[in-house]
């Protein structure tokens, strides 16, 4: 079931809109697309790509191959349950009402079965067809590879399904009913269908199964990767790490009442007799004032006992008395001014200085010291080693003329800064790996760092040896391609020793794009870092969108508070990034006519 949204698969996105799409006209299909997908963050579940294809497209393709009328039930579909999000039984009831009378058998299927094929649906239908209509089982129910009944993958006799829905409507309604209630007391034949019944309920179910959408990369990595261990360190030694818990003040700030300015400590109403001893910062000797008295005080000095006000020098006048102490008088501008800082003025004990997931920068570490914090649990910073591949690649400083067919390494020396901007704590100078199976295997076994960043060898070409090497090394691939341009050929895997490999495309612009986006998401997943995206409204997105994939395009300030986007890129070099401090993530679909443009995320890549 998908999450809420308005992009459901209606007639223009795969539904049949009342017409026969193909298959047997006596067979109808109900495709459910309208749940909340809470374990996927409430997104449009059917739009999630598995093996590079949105799940709902796979399901609709199988349904159209065996059925005449195909009805989608959910947001944007042919119909939907009433009330919305009232459950699959209500959705089945709504879809059933839209099928023509000529339909004798009904396929019922959820949209989250990316491995579903027409042969599986035919097996379910064939389990009903040999029986005479008067003695036919009510339903053929799919059984998955683990032997579990899959209630949203079935073929029904139309009369039996109508009877069961009617009975539930009469006994309390169909809203909120568990779908298994349809099958209670029904004559059901069970059909083993194996992996075709494997559904997708979590991001872990998506991991490693082909290209996914760029907006989903972070969720897939968080579900598939184990965060780095937390480590308690002194504040200054923890800079660059990510808080594993909220940073809480141990001490108030300030800890004692102190002066915020050089001036005079005052007690009671003025004028004040200047009788007190001068107070300097760091002086903790006992001191007190009686009402009507004053004492000179320095910035940061402890206020003497009895002091209820401090005024800076420029707000007072000191008059020498003919006899006795000098007199301090407040100027008219001093009305309402008090330069005395009370205990806890900035924060009290127990105040949250920062939430879990915040990067501990130098300023926050300093604040932690001010708050009396002596140890901070953090994850990271993440260390990365950077390795380029390709026998055609020579060092960046290789002299001219280059041998035929050879190129300089024009991206390796740049990627360290890109990865640092993405959040990696340290990136070593780029190394190089020859294009041999043994060299790649040795690199996977012994490469340094928490994350091994490999440039090239991700495209599956004749010289790309990475995937076979990962299989031999017992690595687990968690991300295999992203639906993005440039940079779609990228890979994330967990190596046998727990290190993570980030495979970037060898093309320079694609490598930078993938490092800035997936590299950033990888740091988030390993550290628990929480970020607030930078977004902006851009004009002309309808001319920039690429159906089915996000585009990553350089953006430059236009001098009027907006951004100028470079619409076309040459990816073999980085010339098109010159002067462009950010990358714009242009979504795969343009806003509908009359719709308000959604803000586009901007990423500082360097």
- Name the phi and psi angles at 290, rounded to 5: -95, 160
Please choose, from the candidates 320, 325, 261, the residue with its C-alpha nearest in 3D space to the C-alpha of residue 289. 325
CA pair distance 66, 31, nearest whole angstrom:
13
CA pair distance 507, 409, nearest whole angstrom:
11
- Whether omega before 486 lies within 30 degrees of 0, making that bond cis, reads yes
Query: What value does the mean pLDDT of the chain take?
Result: 89
List, for residues 489-522, the tens digit of each pLDDT value.
999 999 999 999 999 999 999 999 999 999 999 9
Question: What is the predicted pLDDT for the residue at 447?
Answer: 67
Q: Distance of CA 173 to CAs 75, 89, 162, 170, Å?
A: 21, 10, 14, 6
- Name the phi and psi angles at 454, rounded to 5: -110, 125
- Upper half-sphere CA count for residue 81 (Cβ side, 13 Å): 26
Question: What is the predicted pLDDT for the residue at 18?
Answer: 37
Question: What is the predicted pLDDT for the residue at 8?
Answer: 39
Quick check: 23 pLDDT over 70?
no
The CATH superfamily label for domain 383-527 reads: MoaB/Mog-like domain (3.40.980.10)
Please choose, from the candidates 406, 409, 403, the residue with its C-alpha nearest in 3D space to the C-alpha of residue 389. 409
Question: What is the predicted pLDDT for the residue at 61?
Answer: 94
Question: Cβ(24)–Cβ(69) under 8 Å?
Answer: no
Quick check: 561 pLDDT over 90?
no
Let me know if 210 is exposed, middle or buried by CB neighbors in 10 A (0-12, 13-18, 19+).
Answer: middle
List, for residues 108-139, the tens digit of each pLDDT value.
999 989 899 999 999 999 999 887 767 789 99
Instruction: Pick 40 or 273 by higher pLDDT.
Output: 273
3-state helix, strand, coil in the chain (%, to 5): 25, 25, 50
In this structure, the number of other CB atoms found within 10 A of the CB of residue 247 comes to: 23
> Topology of 11-201 in CATH?
Spore Coat Polysaccharide Biosynthesis Protein SpsA; Chain A (3.90.550)
Question: Cβ(259)–Cβ(338) under 8 Å?
Answer: no
Query: Helix or strand or coil: residue 305?
Result: strand
What is the model's pTM? 0.81
Instruction: Pick 196 or 107 by higher pLDDT.
Output: 107
Please choose, from the candidates 77, 380, 389, 416, the residue with its C-alpha nearest in 3D space to the C-alpha of residue 238. 380
Quick check: 222 pLDDT over 90?
yes
List, for residues 345-374, the tens digit of each pLDDT value.
999 999 999 999 999 999 999 999 999 999
Question: What is the predicted pLDDT for the residue at 20?
Answer: 39
Question: What is the predicted pLDDT for the residue at 21?
Answer: 47
- Whether omega before 83 lies within 30 degrees of 0, making that bond cis, reads yes
CATH number assigned to the domain covering 258-341: 2.170.190.11
Question: What is the predicted pLDDT for the residue at 117?
Answer: 94
Question: What is the predicted pLDDT for the residue at 27?
Answer: 95
End-to-end CA distance of the chain: 40
Question: What is the predicted pLDDT for the residue at 597?
Answer: 65
Band (pLDDT 50/70/90 cuts) for residue 147 is very high
User: Under 8 Å CB-to-CB from 537, ≥6 apart: which residues?
Assistant: 597, 599, 600
Quick check: 13 pLDDT over 80?
no
Question: What is the predicted pLDDT for the residue at 412?
Answer: 92
List, for residues 284-309, the tens digit of each pLDDT value.
999 999 999 999 999 999 999 999 99
CA pair distance 391, 91, nearest whole angstrom:
57
* 68-72, 269-273, 494-498, 547-551: least confident range: 547-551
User: Under 8 Å CB-to-CB from 173, ≥6 apart: which residues?
Assistant: none
**For domain 231-252+346-379, which architecture applies?**
Alpha-Beta Complex (3.90)
Task: Tell me the average pLDDT across 370-388.
Answer: 96
Domain ranges of the chain: 11-201, 231-252+346-379, 258-341, 383-527, 534-604
Question: What is the predicted pLDDT for the residue at 538?
Answer: 82
Looking at the chain, the number of H-run helices and the number of E-run strands are: 10, 37
Band (pLDDT 50/70/90 cuts) for residue 262 is very high
The answer to whether the 11-201 and 258-341 domains have the same CATH topology is no
Question: What is the predicted pLDDT for the residue at 291?
Answer: 96
């Amino acid at each position: 079931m998908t999450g809420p949204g308005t992009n459901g698969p209606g007639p223009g996105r795969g539904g049949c809109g009342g017409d026969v799409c193909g298959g047997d006209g006596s067979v109808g299909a109900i495709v459910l697309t309208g749940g909340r997908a809470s374990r996927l963050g409430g997104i449009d579940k059917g739009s999630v790509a598995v093996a590079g294809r949105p799940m709902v497209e796979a399901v609709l393709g199988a349904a159209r191959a065996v059925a005449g009328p195909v009805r989608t039930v959910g947001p944007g579909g042919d119909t939907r349950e009433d009330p919305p999000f009232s459950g699959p039984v209500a959705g089945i009831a709504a879809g059933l009402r839209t099928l023509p009378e000529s339909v004798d058998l009904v396929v019922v299927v959820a949209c989250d079965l990316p491995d579903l094929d027409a042969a599986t649906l035919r097996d379910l239908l064939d389990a009903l067809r040999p029986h005479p209509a008067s003695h036919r089982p009510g339903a053929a129910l799919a059984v998955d590879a683990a032997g579990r009944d899959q209630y949203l993958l079935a073929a029904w006799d139309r009369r039996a399904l109508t009877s069961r829905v009617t009975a539930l409507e009469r006994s309390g309604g169909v809203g909120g009913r568990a779908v298994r209630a349809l099958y209670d007391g029904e004559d059901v034949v069970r059909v083993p269908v194996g992996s075709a019944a494997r559904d997708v309920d979590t991001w872990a179910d998506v991991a490693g199964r082909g290209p996914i959408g760029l907006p989903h990369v972070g969720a897939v990595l968080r579900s598939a990767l184990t965060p780095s261990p937390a480590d308690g360190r002194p504040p200054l030694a923890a800079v660059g790490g990510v808080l594993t818990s909220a940073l809480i003040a141990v001490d108030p700030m300030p800890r004692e009442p102190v002066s915020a300015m050089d001036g005079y400590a005052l007690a009671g109403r003025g004028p004040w007799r200047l009788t007190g001893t001068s107070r300097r910062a760091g002086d903790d000797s006992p001191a007190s004032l009686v009402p009507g008295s004053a004492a000179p005080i320095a910035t940061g000095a402890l206020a003497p006992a009895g002091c209820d006000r401090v005024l800076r020098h420029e707000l007072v006048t000191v008059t020498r008395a003919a006899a006795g102490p000098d007199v301090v008088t407040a100027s008219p501008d001093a009305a309402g001014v008090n330069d005395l800082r009370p205990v806890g003025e900035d924060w009290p004990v127990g105040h949250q200085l920062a939430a879990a997931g915040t990067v501990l920068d130098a300023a926050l570490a300093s604040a932690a010291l001010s708050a009396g914090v002596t140890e901070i649990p953090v994850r990271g910073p993440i260390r990365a080693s950077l390795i380029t591949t390709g026998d055609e690649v020579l060092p960046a400083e290789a002299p001219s003329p280059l041998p035929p067919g050879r190129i300089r390494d024009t991206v390796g020396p740049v990627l360290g800064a890109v990865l640092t901007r993405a959040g990696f704590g340290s990136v070593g100078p780029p190394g190089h790996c020859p294009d041999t199976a043994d060299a790649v295997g040795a690199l996977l076994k012994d490469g340094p760092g928490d994350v091994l960043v490999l440039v090239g060898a991700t495209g599956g070409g004749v010289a790309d040896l990475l995937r076979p090497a990962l299989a031999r090394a017992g690595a687990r691939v968690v991300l295999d391609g992203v639906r993005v341009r440039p940079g779609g050929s990228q890979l994330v895997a967990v190596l046998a020793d727990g290190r993570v490999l980030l495979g970037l495309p060898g093309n320079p612009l694609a490598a930078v794009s993938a490092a800035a986006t997936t590299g950033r998401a990888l740091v988030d997943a390993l550290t628990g870092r929480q970020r607030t995206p930078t977004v902006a409204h851009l004009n002309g997105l309808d001319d920039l969108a690429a159906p089915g994939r996000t585009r990553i395009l350089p953006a430059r300030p236009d001098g009027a508070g907006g951004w100028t986007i470079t619409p076309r890129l040459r990816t073999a070099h980085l010339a098109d990034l010159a002067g462009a401090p950010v990358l714009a993530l242009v979504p795969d679909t343009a806003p509908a006519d009359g719709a308000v443009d959604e803000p586009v995320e901007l990423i500082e890549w360097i």
